[in-house]
């Protein structure tokens, strides 16, 4: 016999097997997930969800593909959060102290509540990388935010209205364009691709079975 629990999806009660994830429970309940689902393995950030357990006051956030359902869980999906996304040409800006103030001045309204970090399903120290961005330490910001999947949960919890994922993305772009050392073998390979020298190799890889492609990927040589 499967143990069953009660969950409330967008306010409506359903009884579902307790071993399911939130995403699995929604499908078990009859929802067809067209939006708000992607990789299903916890790394794309498409299935951001907020929930509260009956009798508890704390509102929590998670990714629906990661979190197992609990009895008397009230939940609502958040497949899109309206982040502030400033427009810029990476070739026209520079990694100076003024660029963050110019594009994302709200980062200086941070009150240090740490709600962003507490809400992150990837357990990223979000408040710390915002502090790096404030100080113009873009390489540190890029490193600290590297695992961000841009689900928007951090921003949904922020009283200062900071669009943390977009700030982090800008820091990573600035780092990759201007601060990180050039990867010579990558530059060389891009030139070879443009010259058509890799066409046969790419066709050969595309015709391989999926398991063989995975094996090649997992055992590839990684530049130190």
Residue 65 and residue 130 in one domain: no
Tell me, yes or no, whether 211 lies in a domain: yes
| C-alpha to C-alpha distance for 94 and 92, rounded to whole angstroms | 7
Residue 221: per-residue pLDDT: 83
Q: Which two tokens stand for residue 12?
A: 């409506």
Q: How does residue 2 score in pLDDT terms, banded at 50, 70 and 90?
A: confident
Residue 171 and residue 189 in one domain: no
Residue 61 and residue 126 in one domain: no
Tokens 């939940």 appear where? Answer: 75
CB 110 within 8 A of CB 149: no
Tell me, yes or no, whether 31 lies in a domain: yes
DSSP class of residue 181?
Answer: P
Taking alpha carbons only, the member of 97, 127, 125 closest to residue 109 is: 127
Residue 183: per-residue pLDDT: 85
Residue 21 and residue 67 in one domain: yes
**Residues 74-87: tens digit of each pLDDT:** 999 987 889 999 99
**Average pLDDT value for residue range 177-202:** 91
Q: Taking the mean position of all CA atoms in its chain, how far away is CA 29?
A: 26
Tell me, yes or no, whether 173 lies in a domain: yes
Query: Domain of 26: which CATH number?
Result: 3.10.20.30
**Residues 8-19: tens digit of each pLDDT:** 999 999 999 999
Tokens 């609502």 appear where? Answer: 76
Tell me, yes or no, whether 82 lies in a domain: no
Tell me, yes or no, whether 85 lies in a domain: no
Tell me, yes or no, whether 158 lies in a domain: yes
* Helix, strand, coil percent values for the chain (each to nearest 5): 40, 15, 45
Tell me, yes or no, whether 66 lies in a domain: yes
Residue 150 and residue 192 in one domain: no
Residue 151: per-residue pLDDT: 92
CB 146 within 8 A of CB 97: no
Of 77, 106, 138, the residue that ends a domain is 77
**Residues 46-71: tens digit of each pLDDT:** 999 999 999 999 999 999 999 999 99
* 57 contacts: CB under 8 Å, gap ≥ 6: none
Give the pairing of strands 73-77 and 4-9: parallel
Sign, CA dihedral 144-67-112-152, equals positive
Residue 104, domain extent: 90-179
- The pTM assigned to this predicted structure is 0.80
Tell me, yes or no, whether 104 lies in a domain: yes
Helices (H) and strands (E) in the chain, counts: 10, 5
Of 23, 48, 77, the residue that ends a domain is 77
In total, how many domains does the chain have?
Answer: 3
First to last CA, the chain: 52
The half-sphere exposure of 172 on its side-chain side, counting CA atoms within 13 A, is 15
Residue 104 and residue 174 in one domain: yes
Separation in Å, CA 9 to CA 19, 24, 160:
16, 12, 29
Residue 132 and residue 153 in one domain: yes
């Amino acid at each position: 016999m499967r143990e069953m629990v009660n969950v409330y999806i967008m306010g409506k009660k359903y009884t579902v097997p307790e071993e399911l994830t939130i995403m699995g429970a929604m499908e078990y309940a009859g929802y067809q997930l067209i939006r708000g689902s992607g990789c299903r393995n916890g790394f794309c950030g498409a299935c951001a969800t907020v929930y509260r357990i009956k009798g508890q006051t704390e509102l929590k956030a998670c990714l629906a593909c990661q979190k197992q359902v609990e009895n008397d869980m009230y939940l609502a999906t958040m497949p899109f959060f309206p982040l502030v996304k400033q427009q810029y040409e990476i070739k026209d800006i520079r990694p100076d102290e003024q660029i963050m103030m110019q594009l994302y001045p709200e980062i200086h309204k941070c009150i240090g509540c740490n709600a962003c970090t507490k809400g992150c399903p990837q357990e990223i120290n979000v408040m710390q990388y915002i502090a790096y961005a404030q100080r113009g330490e873009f390489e540190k910001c890029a490193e600290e935010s590297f695992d961000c999947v841009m689900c928007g949960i951090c921003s949904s919890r922020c009283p200062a209205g900071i669009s943390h994922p977009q700030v982090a993305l800008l820091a990573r772009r600035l780092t990759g364009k201007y601060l990180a050392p050039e990867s010579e073998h990558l530059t060389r390979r891009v030139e070879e691709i443009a010259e058509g020298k890799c066409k046969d190799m790419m066709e050969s890889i595309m015709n391989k079975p999926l398991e063989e492609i995975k094996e090649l990927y997992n055992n590839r040589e990684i530049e130190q």
